[in-house]
Structure 1
Amino acid sequence: MVEALTTTIQIASLILAGWCLVSTFRDQPMVVPHLVAAAVLWLLVIAQAVVSGVLMARGERPAETLIFISYLATVVLIPPACAVWGFVERSRWGPAVIAFACLILPVMMVRLEQLWDPSRV
């Protein structure tokens, strides 16, 4: 895993969570810029998944490979699933769904880092 990319994902995720929470508190529905930001976040997560896959193909593997792959697949699915759910929910709670997902992603990225290199825990 690329640590700089993980940090970028965490920061972008927290910024998007803050923005979506502000929209929720202002009683605003989800709009296209929210979706664009979620798509950018998703592209960052996909990039991390591709890099991790390439590193594993070259022989670098976490100690618990199956658990790592499970977490990685979940992390890749969270942004689009929540973006769809948030877009369908046309009330103020649409951005809240995105905010919730964006608060989960940094925690899962930390866990992926722990699985990748347990010595850094």
Structure 2
Amino acid sequence: MIAWFTVVLIAVACIAGLLCTVLGLAGRRPSDLSVGTQALILVLLVVQVVISIIAPFVGNPPSGDLLEFWVYLVSAVLIPPAAVIWALIERSRWSTVIMGVAAFAIAIMVWRMNVIWTIQVA
């Protein structure tokens, strides 16, 4: 993983999570803004997939369990589309909050992926 890209991805996910949570608690239904944040996170996660495929070949192999890393990454890629589908089916203020929670979950998962890739003790 690339450290600066990890920080960008976590920051974008946290900002998106905060924005969607605040919009949802303020009573706003899913809109282009809230769904767009999930699309941005998904694009960044797809870039992370490409980085994760290329990184071992250019001298940046993971120090942790590769299977665990990929399970986290694939799961993280599936969360934004699932949250958007939920939001488009339900279309209530709570579905906007769910998109915020999904973004926070992705931020935590990306942090864990960074730990798996770079820091292993034992």
Taking structure 1 as the reference length, what is the TM-score of the superposition?
0.89
Could you tell me how far 1:70 is from its partner in structure 2? 0.7
Deviations 1:50-107 (A, max 9, x none): 1011113456234311111111111111111111112222111111110110111111
Structure 1, unaligned stretches of length 5 or more?
A: none
Corresponding position of 1:10:
10
The residue number in structure 1 matching 2:46 is 46
Identity value in percent:
26
Between the aligned partners of 1:94 and 1:57, the Cα distance in structure 2 is: 40
Moved runs in structure 1, 4+ residues, more than 6 A? none
Q: What are the ranges of 5 or more consecutive residues in structure 2 without an aligned counterpart?
A: none
Aligned residue number for residue 91 of structure 1: 92
Q: Matched residues in 2 for 1:68 and 1:119: separation? A: 12
SS of the residue 1:21 aligns to:
helix
**2-structure distance, mates of 1:111, 1:90:** 31
The structure-2 alpha-carbon separation of the partners of 1:83 and 1:57, relative to structure 1 and needing over 3 Å to count, comes to farther
Asked if structure 1 preserves the Cα contact closer than 8 Å seen for 2:30 and 2:91, the reply is yes
**Structure 1 vs Structure 2 CA RMSD:** 1.7
Query: How has the CA–CA distance of structure 1 residues 15 and 90 changed in structure 2, closer, same or farther, with 3 Å as cutoff?
Result: same
- How many residue pairs get aligned? The number is 120
